[in-house]
Structure 1
Amino acid sequence: MSKLILASKSPRRLELLKSTNIIPDIVDPANINETMKQKEKPKIYLKRICLEKAKNIQKKYENDIILAADTIVSTKQKIFLKPKDEKDAKKTLKYLSGRNHSVITGVCVLFKDWKKIKIIETKIKFKKLHNNEIDQYIKTSQWVDKAG
């Protein structure tokens, strides 16, 4: 019987699956280069990254079902990945403050030669944040490991 392999290190992905009574047999995060290609559009980037993650893990688990996903934040074709540090998180929040943006999640499922990729986009209107609100949020560390 095939196993379900989650190709993600995101605790939120695992929580989300568990909340729907889907429990992966194995959690094995893919280690791939997530660098964006020049002029690559956000949804194209996300499809490529999800597929690369799934294929990377499929090499180890050829007869199993691979589930890979990623989330990005995008505004006017600018992509925001997970911030590297507090300074990066603060810069991102200041940029997004008062703007419309999209939170886009890509999901890829592979099973042998079969594949399905789905992209889901949610449009967000971000309220104008004051510097003290940004500083307070940064102190909570809730921004760690989250896109945008």
Structure 2
Amino acid sequence: MRLILASSSPRRIEILSLLGLEFEVIPAKIEEKPIEGKPILTARKLSREKALSVWKRYKDAVVIGADTLVFLGNEIIGKPKDEEDAKRILKRLSGRWHGVVTAVSIVSKGKRLTFHDVARVKFRELTDKEIEDYVRSGEPLDKAGAYGVQGFGAVIVEKIHGNFYTVMGLPVVKVYKALKGFLYNTSP
């Protein structure tokens, strides 16, 4: 069965590769409209839209769509618009707990599944210089919440309650269990 990841995220590609499955990468092109004050519902909706947009062109495949959002309370903290926005986000998250949700949708002919996983992340207190240096590295600029836990951003994350891979962008255990049902017709 043909397997497609509807994402060009290097992190998702890396995580899905851990499963040893052959898959293609065909990024979804959708307009990402958040549901104000509803990070989990937004992530689920966007993952579903991504998977369906690619599946409509490749109906012989199993398509995986995913969306990861960082949130503080019910406020979605998206990708920074620029370096100044990244600094503002990192200052807000400094020394605080926040949530990260990754929703995944898997779609094939006759079968659809959407699920999510949530982790809580605590940043250590960051100095202005640390924030400045991190933003200057360029790493935070294309990531929700203006950080990547798998890169240099690992030094700003003090604690994670939940799955590391959820924070990275794909809850691999849940994806593996779900894919078994799609690829091998077994229950998760």
Q: Same fold (TM over 0.5)?
A: yes
CA deviation after TM superposition for structure 1 residue 95, in Å: 1.1
Q: Counterparts in 2 of 1:69-88, with a 5 A limit?
A: 69-88=66-85
1:17 alignment partner in structure 2? 16
CA deviation after TM superposition for structure 1 residue 92, in Å: 0.9
1:122 alignment partner in structure 2? 119
TM-score, normalized by length of structure 2?
A: 0.73
1:33 alignment partner in structure 2? 31
Which ranges of 4 or more aligned residues in structure 1 deviate by more than 4 Å? none
1:62 alignment partner in structure 2? 59
Q: Counterparts in 2 of 1:85-96, with a 5 A limit?
A: 85-96=82-93
RMSD: 1.2
Which has more helix, going by share of residues? 2
Tell me the secondary structure at the aligned position of residue 30 of structure 1. Answer: coil
Matched, 1:135 2:128: no
Instruction: Count how many residue pairs are aligned between Structure 1 and Structure 2.
Output: 145
2:180 alignment partner in structure 1? none
**Contact between 1:102 and 1:121, CA under 8 Å: does it hold in 2?**
yes
Consecutive unaligned residues in structure 2, runs of 5 or more: 146-188
**Contact between 2:37 and 2:75, CA under 8 Å: does it hold in 1?**
no
Give percent identity, aligned residues only: 39
- Supply the distance in 2 between the matched residues of 1:28 and 1:16 (Cα, whole angstroms): 16
- Supply the distance in 2 between the matched residues of 1:147 and 1:110 (Cα, whole angstroms): 25
Tell me the secondary structure at the aligned position of residue 117 of structure 2. Answer: strand
Q: Deviations over 1:27-62 (max 9, x none)?
A: 11111111213x341100011000000111111001
Tell me the secondary structure at the aligned position of residue 94 of structure 1. Answer: helix
TM-score, normalized by length of structure 1?
A: 0.92
- Supply the distance in 2 between the matched residues of 1:145 and 1:35 (Cα, whole angstroms): 17
- Supply the distance in 1 between the matched residues of 2:19 and 2:96 (Cα, whole angstroms): 33
